[in-house]
Amino acid sequence: MTPSARRAALRALLPAREVDALLVTDLVNIRYLTGFTGSNAALLVHVDGDGSSRFCTDARYRSQSAAQVPDLERVEDRACARTLVAGAAVGRLGFESDAVTVDAHAALVDVAGDTALHRVPGLVQRLRTVKDESEIDALRAACAAADAALTDLVDAGGIAPGRTEREVALDLEDRMRRHGAQGPAFETIVAAGPHSAVPHHRPTDAVLRRGDLVKIDFGALVGGYHSDTTRTVVLGPPADWQRELHDLVAAAQRAGRDALAPGADVVAVDAAARSVCEEAGRGREFLHGLGHGVGLQIHEAPLLARTGVGVLAAGMAVTVEPGVYLEGRGGVRIEDTVVVRDGGPEVLTATTRELLHL
């Protein structure tokens, strides 16, 4: 879907919000609607069409905006949002109240004149939940870069006793770049031994040791889109408890993946995986939701969790990442990036889910 088609889809939602135009100030949403990747911009999407809409950035991005946003009237100013509001000439103007500070809102009121400002949060994010095929291609490429990097790291013996968590994380991130990533999708998690029982442990100078579970949560950024994968390996032959824990999480992850379908309630999808852990007496040690949407941001709607709201639709890209964490001993998480499809889920991450003994 082209940026102009995305703007048309947004425009169709504006009458129900009773606004004549929407001021978009969230830079991720602006990228989605225009393709612009600079650090300062605002966009006015008018209900009457692109001919009445305007894009604003400052002079630093003159050539970039001409290349990336050739199909909209462009305005140059540093104070983009104020400039577009001052010239909006509409009766009712929506704004992204979830992205505008109190002070920024006061500045918009100062220049709005006869234009009434109305809160319209989350409208573009609602469109972004369902990915078009070009977005899924970008997610697929990001997953492939991450998969290739982990394969290289394993083949090179890069996850081994004697290395530190930090060394492994930096090595993996470098390999993702070598496979075409712009960089990591988020700060890579490498958590060894007891640290693997901390869901969002940050890598330290802790040394990997024989017998450790090593949890690796990583992703690649390609074309602005984020992949998200977690695998847990063991250094040396696994102990019985480590294999049992990995088998349990693998079963929960399969149940979660199998529950992904258009129309499925997000709470029910979470429950499908969580119930596997609960039946094994490990429900209290599954400490987080099952997953989240992923795309231009690493965490997007929908949320697959007990606290989630809504149902899935074909084209949504989500993670499925159950984990069980035994404090002071170790934990296992297995995560894939998955696209909801009518004929069954499409798993974009290809790295084996088997317990690797390194």
Predicted pLDDT of residue 263: 98
Say if CB 287 and CB 325 are below 8 A apart: yes
Angle between helices 27-34 and 3-11 (to 10 degrees): 110
Q: Within the chain, which residue ranges are assigned CATH 3.40.350.10?
A: 3-127
Location of each CATH 3.90.230.10 domain in the chain: 133-347
The DSSP H or E segment spanning 202 is: none
The confidence score (pLDDT) of residue 12 equals 97
Question: What is the rounded CA–CA span in Å between residue 217 and residue 308?
Answer: 22
Edge-to-edge strand ranges of the sheet holding 317-320: 300-304, 291-293, 317-320, 336-339, 346-347
pLDDT at 310: 96
- What residue ranges of the chain have pLDDT lower than 70? none
**pLDDT value of residue 191:** 98
- Is residue 233 within 8 A of residue 249, CB to CB? The reply is no
Look at the domain 133-347 and name its fold: Creatine Amidinohydrolase (3.90.230)
At the topology level, CATH places domain 3-127 in: Creatine Amidinohydrolase; Chain A, domain 1 (3.40.350)
Overall pTM > 0.85: yes
State the pLDDT at residue 290. Answer: 98
